[in-house]
């Protein structure tokens, strides 16, 4: 592998996760991102209460993302071999944390109770 191309990355991810699961994750990420943008445009501002709850979910998202990748690759933390492995795991954890925050904020905005929705508009 002399060049790292998008096609190569897609092939590697399809091999790791399986074709169906990989594309389901991609579609889910796109849908959640679009829903997040919808919420931001609809509300015209960030609700700091919902944002705080979203931030509190970030450590759980980071741990879940790392655990998911370890399970899918049939690896253990003891298999970490060098600095690049640590960098990859930190990247996975960061993406899991941000993804969890976006998901929680979006769900809270879309599915929140009337009480919290009315309070946020005041």
Residue 29 lies in a domain: yes
Residue 92 lies in a domain: yes
Detail the DSSP E strand segments found in the chain: none
Containing structural domain, residue 71: 6-121
Is this model's pTM higher than 0.85 or not?
no
Does the CA dihedral 61-66-69-72 come out positive or negative?
negative
**C-beta of residue 49 within 8 angstroms of C-beta of residue 115:** no
Does the CA dihedral 74-76-80-85 come out positive or negative?
positive
Residue 33 lies in a domain: yes
Residue 1 lies in a domain: no
* pLDDT (tens digit per residue) in 20-72: 998 999 999 999 999 999 998 998 888 888 888 899 999 999 999 999 988 88
Residue 77 lies in a domain: yes
Mean of all residue pLDDT scores within the chain: 86
Tell me how many domains the chain contains.
1
pLDDT for position 122 = 47
């Amino acid at each position: 592998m002399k060049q790292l191309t998008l096609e190569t990355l897609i092939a590697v991810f399809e091999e790791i996760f399986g074709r169906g699961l990989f594309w389901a994750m991609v579609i889910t990420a796109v849908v959640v991102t679009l829903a997040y943008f919808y919420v931001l445009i609809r509300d015209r501002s960030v609700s700091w209460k919902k944002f705080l709850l979203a931030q509190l979910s970030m450590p759980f998202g980071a741990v879940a993302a790392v655990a998911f990748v370890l399970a899918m690759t049939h690896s253990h933390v003891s298999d970490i071999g060098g600095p690049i492995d640590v960098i990859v795991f930190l990247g996975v954890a960061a993406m899991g944390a941000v993804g969890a925050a976006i998901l929680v904020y979006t769900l809270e905005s879309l599915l929140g109770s009337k009480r919290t929705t009315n309070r946020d508009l005041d």
